Amino acid sequence: ELKVEQNPLFLSMQEGKNYTIYCNYSTTSDRLYWYRQDPGKSLESLFVLLSNGAVKQEGRLMASLDTKARLSTLHITAAVHDLSATYFCAVDRTTSGTYKYIFGTGTRLKVLA
């Protein structure tokens, strides 16, 4: 059974600091996705990582994927308050050619001014 784990579950950090969120998954998967959720809102797509070694960057966020280690990271550079949200990673599970998306438990990020 595919398991997706994130850590930390909760992160409180000062503005201007750097930090990394980790996403581990238990079985081979083709792709990994990062989503952001603001309080009371739906999830919106941040990054799509499609191969080993893939790196994507948007503003102060950078995501990478190591399929051999079954690990993805979401690195935050010089955090600002607007990045406060919950971040989820998700993995495609390939079973007999079908796909479904399994999500991690989420990392709630709070950036303090």
Partner 1 sequence: DADVTQTPRNRITKTGKRIMLECSQTKGHDRMYWYRQDPGLGLRLIYYSFDVKDINKGEISDGYSVSRQAQAKFSLSLESAIPNQTALYFCATSDPGTSLGVVFGPGTRLTVT
Residues forming contacts to partner 1 in the complex (CB under 8 A) are 6, 9, 31, 33, 35, 41-45, 48, 50, 88, 90, 98-106
Shortest separation between residue 26's beta carbon and partner 1, angstroms? 14
| DSSP string for the chain | ---EEEE-SEEEEETT--EEEEEEESS--S-EEEEEE-TTS-EEEEEEE-STT-EEEETTEEEEEETTTTEEEEEE-S--GGG-EEEEEEEEEEETTEEEEEE---EEEEEE-
Shortest separation between residue 99's beta carbon and partner 1, angstroms? 6
- CB-nearer residue toward partner 1: 81 or 100: 100
Shortest separation between residue 78's beta carbon and partner 1, angstroms? 27
- CB-nearer residue toward partner 1: 14 or 45: 45
CB of 67 closer than 8 Å to CB of 29? yes
Shortest separation between residue 48's beta carbon and partner 1, angstroms? 6
- CB-nearer residue toward partner 1: 33 or 83: 33
